[in-house]
Amino acid sequence: MQYSGWPEPGELVVGEVDEIADFGVFVDLDQYENKRGLCHISEVASGWIKNVRDHVREGQTVVAKVLEVQESSEQIDLSIKDVNEHQRKETIQAWKNERKADNWMLIALGEDVEDERYTSVANAMLVEYDSLYDAFETAAIHGEEALADVDIDEEAVEAIVAAARENVSVPYVDVTGYVDLTSAASDGVDDIKAALSAAEGNGEVPEEVELEVGYVGSPEYRIKVRAPDYKTAEAELEAAADRARKAIEAAGGTGEFHRERREDDE
């Protein structure tokens, strides 16, 4: 998606080197429609520069910092040397993500979607999310719920969720904890099975979370949780252990949650 406005001073932008002159480099800004910036030779690289072409080449993708914007004269001054390696990598990754999101939008809305329709849907998503990529990633995880506050029609919601779940590779994190379950009752084995079943959630676990309970060695059981982020994963892990503990205590047994395996089980 290209913006029709102007970049702000201090902003990091991605562009393609369009022309190299003795006094500097012209860069076509990828994220802004019909916008071109100039990086003076003194801003291409640190130190004395004998030949600009020793540092950049035509067609090269670069990350530059916006130094000054003069809309009246349509001039954008850039600096390539003011961008460190960490900033360059982060900006390029964000740019790549947005290019992916742009393709996902076309998949969702159709290759022949009118510009007005595309812009309307995209702008509505950007009201609620920092980027289109963030919106698609969240839609892949949470489905239509992720777009509940986005001011778009139901057809667009369904299409975006379908495209997100078909194309977005969702990042996941894994956490593990352990619960000790004991029961002295004659049917204690059944009580422990019931407690483990309770830990698995009985339908209470969110759709985006994977939860697995396994045997380690009496009285210890392992709970593994896979979720989109650590906050969710930790919350679901503790909830699973708490369900098991409450179930076994209700049957007269004991339950204890801990994060590491017991040393005597190694």
- Residue 109 makes CB contacts below 8 A (sequence gap 6+) with 117, 118, 121, 156, 159
Q: Of 148, 167, 186, which residue is a domain's last?
A: 167
CATH for 39: 2.40.50.140
Number of domains forming the structure of the chain: 3
- Distance (Å) of CA 142 to CA 146, 175, 198, 209: 5, 20, 24, 10
- Residue 200 makes CB contacts below 8 A (sequence gap 6+) with 211, 213, 240
Percent of the chain with pLDDT over 90: 76
Q: Is residue 3 part of a domain?
A: no
CATH for 191: 3.30.70.1130
Same domain? 102 vs 66 = no
| Nearest alpha carbon to residue 177 among 262, 266, 52 | 262
Same domain? 191 vs 162 = no
**Mean pLDDT across the stretch 114-120?**
93
Other Cβ atoms less than 10 A from the Cβ of 8: the count is: 9
Same domain? 221 vs 261 = yes
Q: Is residue 163 part of a domain?
A: yes
Could you give the dihedral angle defined by the CA atoms of residues 112, 33, 160 and 131, in that order, rounded to the nearest 10 degrees? 170
88: pLDDT strictly greater than 90: yes
Label residue 192 by pLDDT band (50, 70, 90): very high
**Mean pLDDT across the stretch 110-136?**
94
pLDDT digits (tens, 9 = 90+) for 100-112: 999 999 999 999 9
pLDDT digits (tens, 9 = 90+) for 12-59: 999 999 999 999 999 999 989 899 999 999 999 998 898 999 999 999
Label residue 1 by pLDDT band (50, 70, 90): low
Supply φ then ψ for residue 76, to 5 degrees.
Answer: -125, 115
Q: Is residue 5 part of a domain?
A: no
pLDDT digits (tens, 9 = 90+) for 230-256: 888 999 999 999 999 999 999 999 999
Same domain? 239 vs 162 = no
Same domain? 75 vs 96 = no
Same domain? 154 vs 71 = no
Same domain? 237 vs 177 = yes
Please state which of the ranges 100-109, 114-123, 205-214 shows the lowest mean pLDDT: 205-214
Tell me the three state secondary structure of residue 10: coil
Q: Is residue 257 part of a domain?
A: yes
Q: Of 83, 103, 125, which residue is a domain's last?
A: 83
Q: Which of residues 263 and 4 earns the better pLDDT score?
A: 4
Same domain? 49 vs 104 = no
Q: Is residue 7 part of a domain?
A: no
| pLDDT at position 246 | 94
- Average pLDDT of the chain is 91
Q: Of 58, 83, 108, which residue is a domain's last?
A: 83
Which domain, by its residues, includes 179? 173-265
| pLDDT at position 263 | 60
Q: Is residue 198 part of a domain?
A: yes
Same domain? 76 vs 137 = no
pLDDT digits (tens, 9 = 90+) for 134-191: 999 999 888 898 999 999 999 999 999 999 989 988 778 889 999 999 998 888 899 9
Same domain? 157 vs 180 = no
| pLDDT at position 5 | 87
Q: Is residue 216 part of a domain?
A: yes
| pLDDT at position 266 | 45
Same domain? 118 vs 138 = yes
| pLDDT at position 182 | 93
E strand or H helix at 85, and its extent? helix 85-109
Q: Which of residues 190 and 259 earns the better pLDDT score?
A: 190
Same domain? 159 vs 186 = no
262: pLDDT strictly greater than 80: no
- Residue 116 makes CB contacts below 8 A (sequence gap 6+) with none
pTM for the full predicted model: 0.63
| 230-255 burial code (b ≥16 CB/10 A, e <16) | eebbebbbebbbebbbebbeebebeb
Q: Is residue 6 part of a domain?
A: no
CB 262 within 8 A of CB 209: no
